[in-house]
Amino acid sequence: MANTHSFVIRTLDDWQNDAINCAGICTASDLDNGQFVTRGALGLKANGGYEFTCALPGANATDLWLVEKPAVGNTVEQQEMSDPRYFYNPKGSAFSIKGLTAGRTFIEVPASAFASGKDPKTVTGATVASVDTNGRLVAATGSAPASGTYFTIEATHTVDIGIEAVPTWILKCARN
């Protein structure tokens, strides 16, 4: 397993609010932290717990949820790594999802949270980012997209992982 998975850093919002913190499960595909999903039906468990079914979003979707599970990993190999880019959520395993509030949710993500070739480093002059059907961000220039969840690109930053300074972007949810 290579260290090429995405990660997300939450920077500002009401993350202690249980109404926007849920458990999800996606049986269709593996998911990285920092990807976006739609929340489906509530599934009750025999032990009294529950989790929502999740799927990758459709085109121009709104009411998206952020995949964000603490990077401790599901396997021994993932648990041994201190680099969050080794961690992902295998299909069929439970993960945390976080609700997004327009104007209040800020997240920090690396280029791997964007669709291939669609990060702000590649898209010169990018000011906004929408969400693709693969749950990844797509940077764009110009004004807000006509529909769908989107973010404004507020700042660039770096995150230290070991001896590497990983470039990141701070995004503000503008519509969900």
Q: How far is CA 7 from CA 33, 49, 89, 109, 166, in A?
A: 5, 26, 11, 6, 11
Q: What is the pLDDT of residue 52?
A: 95
Q: What is the pLDDT of residue 72?
A: 59
Res. 28: pLDDT tops 90:
yes
For the record, the structure tokens of 100 come out as 């997004």
What's the CA gap between 100 and 6, in Å, rounded?
18
Amino acid at 144: A
For the record, the structure tokens of 113 come out as 């949270």
Q: What is the pLDDT of residue 86?
A: 74
